[in-house]
Amino acid sequence: MSNLEDHRIMNGLAPAPWPGPAAGSSMAESAEQARAQDRVPAGFAWHDDYVLGHGTMDETHHEFVACVHTLLTTEDPNLGIALEAFAEHARRHFGDEDAAMRETAYGSAGCHIEEHAAVLRSLDEVRALLAEGRTEVVRSFARALVDWFPEHVRVMDQSLARWLVQRQLGASPVVIRRRLPIAA
């Protein structure tokens, strides 16, 4: 597996940076990328900015964050199980959203469905590489998901949630976030 192939795998995830050295990158860049690859996984925590006000979608997104957190933090011997858990989650998560878009003739379905499909294509390639013992590819994939998720939720999932709630209730979703403490 060449670095170029590594890079190609993650191209399906937009905007997903690939921390591995790309063909043609400088030595300094490669060293920096190598350090990024070696860094201790920091995990992935839920943030209230991800709340959409659509119960099922919010619940599913909590699950997504938990699955990716596990991919980042579990020990190498557990990565196979963690990746399969993520795969099961991703198929259900994206499948449910895709079905909701199709069933309600959602106008912006095309790029949203394609973005889900791109993640699943990357996932299939990462699974194949893990079968060759490439655990670092799974960590890089998980970091790419951490970068990808907030923008996907903010733009695509939020629009879908609004559409679905408006169809159900004839109103926009109500989002209640925790208040930040304000110093007197």
User: Which of 97, 125 has the CB closer to Fe ion?
Assistant: 97
- Kindly tell me the sign of the dihedral angle through the C-alpha atoms of 9, 7, 146, 156: negative
Q: Is the preceding peptide bond at 15 cis, omega within 30 degrees of 0?
A: yes
Q: Binding to Fe ion by residue 58, rule CB under 5 A? A: no
The Cβ of residue 33 has, within 10 Å, a number of other Cβ atoms equal to 19
Q: Which of 33, 97, 122, 149 binds Fe ion (CB under 5 A)?
A: 97
How many chain residues are in contact with Fe ion, going by CB under 5 A? 2
Name the one range near Fe ion by CB under 5 A: 6-14, 30-38, 97-105, 117-125. 97-105
Q: CB neighbours of 111 closer than 8 A, spacing ≥ 6?
A: 156
Name the one range near Fe ion by CB under 5 A: 11-19, 79-87, 120-128, 156-164. 156-164
Q: Which residue is nearest to Fe ion (CB)?
A: 157
| DSSP string covering 124-177 | HHHHHHHHTT-HHHHHHHHHHHHHHHHHIIIIIIHHHHHHHHHHHHSSPPP---
- Among residues 58, 86, 102, the alpha carbon closest in space to that of 145 is found at 86
Min dist. Cβ of residue 87 to Fe ion (A): 15
Q: Which helix (H) or strand (E) holds 75?
A: none
Name the one range near Fe ion by CB under 5 A: 14-22, 83-91, 121-129, 157-165. 157-165
DSSP reduced 3-state for 18: coil
Name the one range near Fe ion by CB under 5 A: 10-18, 67-75, 96-104, 176-184. 96-104
User: Which of 6, 157 has the CB closer to Fe ion?
Assistant: 157
Q: Which of 157, 158, 164, 165 binds Fe ion (CB under 5 A)?
A: 157
Min dist. Cβ of residue 92 to Fe ion (A): 11
Residues lying near Fe ion in the complex (CB under 5 A) are found at 97, 157
